[in-house]
Amino acid sequence: MTGTVSLLPRILSGFHVFILLSCFFLSQLFSIACAGDNQPFQEVRGEHFLVEFTAEQERASARQILDRAELYYSKITSDIGHSRHQQSWAWDRRVRIVLYPDQFSYNRFTGQPQWSKAYASRYSKFFSSRVIVSWLGQLGFLEEALPHEIAHLVLWDFLGFSSKVPLWLEEGIAQLAESDKREIVQQAIKQVEASGQIIPLAILAGMDIVNEKDTAKVSLFYAQSLSLVLFMLEKHGRDAFRRLLRELRDGKDFEQALQTAYPLVFPSVNDLEKRWKAFLSLDNI
Ligand SMILES: [Zn+2]
């Protein structure tokens, strides 16, 4: 159908760049001078987060970010069944949210490229802790980048280093945490399905999204990722979805974890794809 293919990038243009860029959370380490050398950070502390900022007049904004981060943490851990880690980010294990005063400082001091809006890392030797780094005053930070990066950190804590989690599943869950995104993505993906442009799941699972140059493909990768997670979670229940994550955490590959968590509805990845596409087609008739 004419128009449906171009519709998705248009609909998603508000956030796909953010997704692509913010998900450059990278395990790369900083190699440049610390901002603290000439801009000492102040901080506000919550139960699980510590927000660092550079000027006293930013304290109210930092406090707002801290309060929102605590809310997201509670919701995200609950969504994925990660309650046993409620204490793991407390005290000296708080996650640091480092906020530079502006984008220029962020790029300059972190070495991130111009298009980067935020990143999260659990490996950072530079910051010596779990960290989310961005800058103050960024449009949509509270509703998009902040919950998205917190979700990545929670998920990494839950799944550990050795689990075999498809990137699309991880990015689908991270996007789940963002506000006001679910409905618009699901509607867009239904139109893509009607136009026959859906990326097959086998291809989606192997996409090298960080190096993908085609922004329409990148948009579609993220949108399909969220749509699949929404389908599994909302149509087939939170308990089974949590079981899937536990099985992945415990070392099963995705197909094995799917068979265990959804033995009757998705005994294989092919079944998941068929049922998801059938669901997308329901409203398109
Ligand atoms: Zn991400």
The pLDDT of residue 44: 97
Q: Strands (DSSP E) along the chain, which ranges?
A: 42-45, 49-53, 95-100, 119-121, 131-135
Supply the pLDDT for residue 17.
37
Which tens digit of pLDDT belongs to each residue from 151-205?
A: 999 998 888 877 789 999 999 999 998 978 899 999 999 999 999 999 999 999 9
Q: What is the per-residue pLDDT across 241-268, written as a single tens digit (0 to 9) for each?
A: 999 999 999 999 999 999 999 999 999 9
Alpha carbons 186 and 22: distance in angstroms, whole number? 21
Using the predicted structure, report yes or no on whether residue 8 has a pLDDT greater than 90: no
- Kindly give the distance from the C-alpha atom of residue 72 to the centroid of ligand 1, in angstroms, as a whole number: 15
Looking at per-residue pLDDT, the higher value among 173 and 89 belongs to 173
CB count within 10 Å of CB 194 equals 16
116 versus 135: the higher-pLDDT residue is 135
Give distance in angstroms: CA of 269 to centre of ligand 1: 22
pLDDT given at position 187:
93
Condensed to tens digits (0 to 9), the pLDDT of residues 197-227 reads 999 999 999 998 878 888 889 889 999 999 9
Q: What is the pLDDT of residue 130?
A: 85
Task: Tell me whether strands 131-135 and 49-53 are parallel, antiparallel or unpaired.
Answer: unpaired
How many Å lie between the centroid of ligand 1 and the Cα of residue 45?
A: 25
Lowest mean pLDDT: which of 72-76, 84-88, 141-145, 171-175?
A: 84-88
Instruction: Name which of 130, 125, 133 is nearest 155 in CA terms.
Output: 130
**Full set of structural domains in the chain with CATH:** 4-18+164-284 (no CATH), 21-159 (3.40.30.160)
- Dihedrals φ, ψ of 129, to 5°? -165, 175
Tell me, rounded to whole angstroms, the distance of Cα 247 from its chain centroid.
Answer: 20
- Nearest 5°: CA angle at 17, between 79 and 21? 75
Residue 6 Cα to ligand 1 midpoint, Å, equals 23
Q: What tokens were used for 103?
A: 């984008």
Cβ atoms of 250 and 200 within 8 Å: the answer is no
Residue 144's nearest CA partner among 10, 22, 49 is 22
Cα 89 to middle of ligand 1, angstroms: 20
Can you give the pLDDT at residue 91? 79
